[in-house]
Amino acid sequence: MAISEQVRAECRQLMDRYPQDRSALVPMLHLLQSEQGMVTAEGLELCAELLDLSTAEVRAVATFYTMYRLRSQGGEHHIGVCVNTACGLLGGDAIFDALSKRLSVSNGEVTADGRFTLERIECQAACTHSPVVTVDWEYFDQMDIDKMMDVIDKLEAGEEVVATRGPAVRGWRAAEKTIAGIDDGLGYKSDAIDSLMLAGLNQAKERGETAPDPKDF
């Protein structure tokens, strides 16, 4: 599968954002992964060509970061289960086991039908919302086994599934493009603020507590 002119143009667009072209490499690899479902030899060569590096130099970078798939295609949806302490012990371990059983895959594997990649992930900076699962890296907060089974049912049926903080999931490859920094038009559209993020503010309002009034100083 040849890399389209449009993607090449998007790569150049990324390069324009930095004083030195090479700075675009990490985002560029996300973009090529989004285009091809993994980082292919062709993708590495394109980075090398555009950034005036050797393919070996690009590969050395690509292999350092865990989000890039260099060996095989990723599934249509990426399911990440946070198993670091605050999530894993509070429910993530059991969620992972249940998903692993349901999808018949172990950590890092893609289901036989190519629909799901299942991965144990590290702390997702959302421990207040534990146990946290991600679908296409969007937040699915305060999950349990039943809720996750429901999410999988819906994804299998092709129904819409909306993140608890974020938009409706659009597939792993679309998420990789967002992560690369290519505008998906959703930046201001999704609901990213929830009651847990407002826990303190709501209580401060109830109790009439505020920061000191600047006029008093």
Partner 1 sequence: MALTPVITAHWDEPDCFTVDGYKKVGGYRAIKKALKMDPDDVINIIKDSGLRGRGGAGFPTGMKWSFVPQNDGHPHYLTVNGDESEPGACKDIPIMMANPQALIEGIIITCWAIRAEHAFVYIRGEVPEPIRRMHAAVADAEAHGFLGENILGSGMNLKLTVTSGAGAYICGEETALLDSLEGRRGQPRLKPPFPAVAGLYSAPTVINNVETITSVPYIIENGVSWYRSMGTDKSPGFKVWAVSGHVNRPGIYEAPLGITMGELLDYAGGIRDGHELKFWLPGGSSVPLLLQDHLDTPMTYEDIAAAGSMLGTGTPMLFDDTTSVVKAITRWLEFYKHESCGKCTPCREGTAWITGSLERFQEGVGRSEDIEGLVELSNHILGRSFCALGDAAATPYEPALKAFRSEFEAARHQPVDEAFPPAATMIIPPETANLAGAAT
Q: Which is nearer to partner 1, 15 or 110 (CB)?
A: 15
Neighbours of 190 (CB within 10 A): 14
The single-letter DSSP state of residue 92 is I
Q: Are 182 and 31 in contact (CB under 8 A)?
A: yes
Residue 156 CB, shortest distance to partner 1, in Å, is: 19
Binding residue for partner 1, selected from 105, 133, 163, 173, defined by CB under 8 A? 163
Angstrom distance (rounded) from CA 22 to CA 24: 5
Question: Which positions from 47 through 106 interact with ligand FES, judged by CB under 6 A?
Answer: 82, 84, 86-87
What letter does residue 210 receive in the DSSP assignment? -
Minimum distance, C-beta of residue 14 to partner 1, in the bound complex (Å)? 9
Looking at the Cβ atoms of 92 and 167, the one nearer to ligand FES is: 92
Tokens of 122: 């590290």
Nearer to partner 1, 9 or 193 (CB): 193
* Candidates 69-77, 109-117, 142-150, 153-161; binding stretch for partner 1 (CB under 8 A): 142-150
- To which residue do tokens 């999704």 refer? 190
Instruction: Tell which one of 13, 17, 150, 168 touches partner 1 (CB under 8 A).
Output: 17
Q: Which of 47, 126, 151, 155 binds ligand FES (CB under 6 A)?
A: 126
| Residue matched to tokens 């389209």 | 4
CA 131 to chain centre: 16
Contacts of ligand FES in 128-157 (CB under 6 A)? 130, 132
Pairing of strands 133-135, 77-82: antiparallel
3-state secondary structure 153-188: HHHHCCCCCECCECCECCCHHHHHHHHHCCCCCCCC
Give least dist CB 84 to ligand FES, A: 4
Written as six digits, the tokens of 137 are 């890296």
Among residues 5 and 16, whose Cβ is nearest to partner 1?
16
DSSP 8-state assignment for residue 133: E
Distance CA 142, CA 55 (A): 42
Interactions with partner 1, residue window 25-84 (CB under 8 A): 25-27, 29-30, 51, 60-61, 64-68, 80, 83-84
CB of 81 to partner 1, least distance (A): 12
- For position 211 contacting partner 1 by CB under 8 A, the verdict is yes
Contact flag: residue 171 with partner 1 (CB under 8 A):
no
Distance CA 105, CA 78 (A): 13
**Contact positions vs ligand FES (CB under 6 A):** 82, 84, 86-87, 123-124, 126-127, 130, 132
